[in-house]
């Protein structure tokens, strides 16, 4: 039997996913040759690592075991994960640790701002664990982090990738009032797969959350993403695109699901690159301003370059 242990933090042998330890192993097919990643051994990677650690920060790049870390960190692109390294949800696809998180670090917004400054980022992505234990789901902490980055790095554009704030009335409004440039909330998968993949979430709540952001402030770009290879059908992916367009979402990302351990959801299928291209084409016809669809697409991958394209696409549309 495989024991799911923490392979990221300095405390080995602590169950990382206590709720998954007793699950039977889920076997995925071997990775195809189009899933290739750069090894994390460059000077830029080492510099990014140093700044992250010196500021005591957590990154989703490490916690989620992102395959793009070698490429992104070499360019000093890291995505900070605020409010701790422990999540109150236990999604079947996610490698982030599950459990009861600790108290918020009041200095974290300043530390994130300082690291953004030191990395010299023109565009920063900030995400978080789910904090169902907090009355506002961590909304005020998100807002403080946005304000701290604005104060320290006034020209840096800010993208946030938030939890769903389910049953946290007023939380979304607090975050939107801080005016991030991009508000991302991932749907993760098609509605028929929610019960097995994202059981703590509600599909239509997530769609409505994205729609509300646009209603509150139409200048904020909205973004969402799904993973494929989790057992979804093509027509379901196309329906998700329509649902997101109904909510006026600007930017769609589609990437291949990769299994973090054998205790996580199995990869049902590796979607070939030409199918991703097909999804991208269809998504543009449905009216998204930006679409990124490829096996290694992740929400924050190339986020800075994509933000510039988003702005250009909006400007072209309004001409
Ligand atoms: S794609 Fe995003 S999460 Fe992955 S390494 Fe790059 S910045 Fe980090």
pLDDT (0 to 100) of residue 318:
86
Ligand 1 atom with minimal separation from the 60 CA: 3
Nearest Cα residue to atom 2 of ligand 1: 300
Contact assessment for residue 282 and residue 214, using Cβ atoms and an 8 Å cutoff: no
At residue 314, the pLDDT reads 95
Ligand 1, atom 3: closest residue by C-alpha: 61
What values do phi and psi take at 59, rounded to 5? -120, 145
Distance, first Cα to last Cα, the chain: 60
Residues 31, 267: Cα–Cα separation, whole Å: 10
Residue 2 is predicted with a pLDDT of 39
> CB within 6 Å of ligand 1 — which residues?
60-61, 66, 68-69, 72, 77-79, 298, 300-301
Distance CA 78, CA 87 (A): 19
pLDDT given for residue 9 in this prediction: 55
Residue 52 CA to residue 59 CA, distance in Å, equals: 8
What pLDDT does residue 5 have? 47
Q: For atom 5 of ligand 1, which residue has the closest CA? A: 69
For the chain, 319 residues long, give each residue's pLDDT as a single digit of tens: 333 545 555 555 567 888 888 888 999 999 999 998 877 889 999 999 999 999 999 999 999 889 999 999 999 899 999 999 999 999 999 999 999 999 999 999 999 999 999 999 999 999 999 999 999 999 999 999 999 999 999 999 999 999 999 999 999 999 999 999 999 999 999 999 999 999 999 999 999 999 999 999 999 999 999 999 999 999 999 999 999 999 999 999 999 999 999 999 999 999 999 999 999 999 999 999 999 999 999 999 999 999 999 999 999 988 8
CA 134/CA 6 separation, integer angstroms: 25
CB 257 within 8 A of CB 227: yes
DSSP-derived pairing of the beta strands 251-256 and 79-82:
unpaired
Mutate to test the pocket of ligand 1, among 42, 67, 69, 297 (most ligand atoms within 8 A of CB): 69
Spatial separation of the C-alpha atoms in residues 251 and 287, rounded to whole Å: 10
Output the CA 70–ligand 1 centroid distance in Å. 9
Q: How far is the CA of 119 from the centre of ligand 1 (A)?
A: 15
Q: How far apart are CA 97 and CA 279, in angstroms?
A: 32
The model's pTM is 0.93
**CA 296 – CA 303 distance, rounded (Å):** 13
């Amino acid at each position: 039997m495989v024991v799911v242990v923490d392979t990221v933090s300095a405390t080995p042998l602590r169950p990382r996913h206590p709720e998954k330890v007793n699950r039977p192993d889920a076997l995925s097919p071997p990775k195809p040759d189009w899933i290739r990643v750069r090894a994390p051994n460059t000077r830029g990677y080492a510099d990014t690592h140093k700044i992250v650690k010196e500021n005591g920060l957590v990154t989703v790049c490490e916690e989620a075991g992102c395959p793009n870390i070698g490429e992104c960190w070499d360019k000093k692109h890291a995505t900070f994960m605020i409010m701790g390294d422990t999540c109150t949800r236990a999604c079947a696809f996610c490698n982030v640790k599950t459990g009861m998180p600790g108290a918020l670090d009041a200095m974290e917004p300043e530390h994130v701002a300082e690291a953004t400054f030191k990395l010299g980022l023109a565009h920063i992505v900030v995400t978080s664990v789910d904090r169902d234990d907090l009355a506002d789901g961590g909304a005020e902490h998100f807002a403080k982090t946005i304000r701290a980055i604005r104060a320290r790095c006034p020209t840096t554009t800010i993208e946030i990738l938030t939890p769903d704030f389910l049953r946290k009335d007023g939380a979304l409004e607090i975050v939107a009032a801080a005016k991030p440039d991009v508000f991302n909330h991932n749907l993760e998968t098609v509605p028929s797969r929610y019960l097995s993949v994202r059981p703590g979430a509600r599909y239509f709540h997530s769609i409505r959350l994205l729609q509300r952001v646009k209603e509150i402030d139409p200048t904020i770009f909205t973004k969402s993403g799904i993973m494929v290879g989790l057992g979804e059908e093509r027509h379901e992916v196309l329906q998700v695109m329509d649902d997101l367009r109904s909510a006026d979402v600007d930017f769609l990302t589609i990437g291949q699901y990769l299994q973090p351990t054998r205790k996580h959801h199995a990869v049902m299928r590796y979607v070939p690159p030409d199918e991703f291209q097909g999804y991208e084409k269809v998504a543009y016809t449905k009216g998204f301003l930006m679409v990124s669809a490829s096996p290694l697409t992740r929400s924050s991958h190339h986020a800075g370059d994509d933000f510039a394209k988003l702005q250009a696409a909006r400007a072209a549309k309004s001409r």
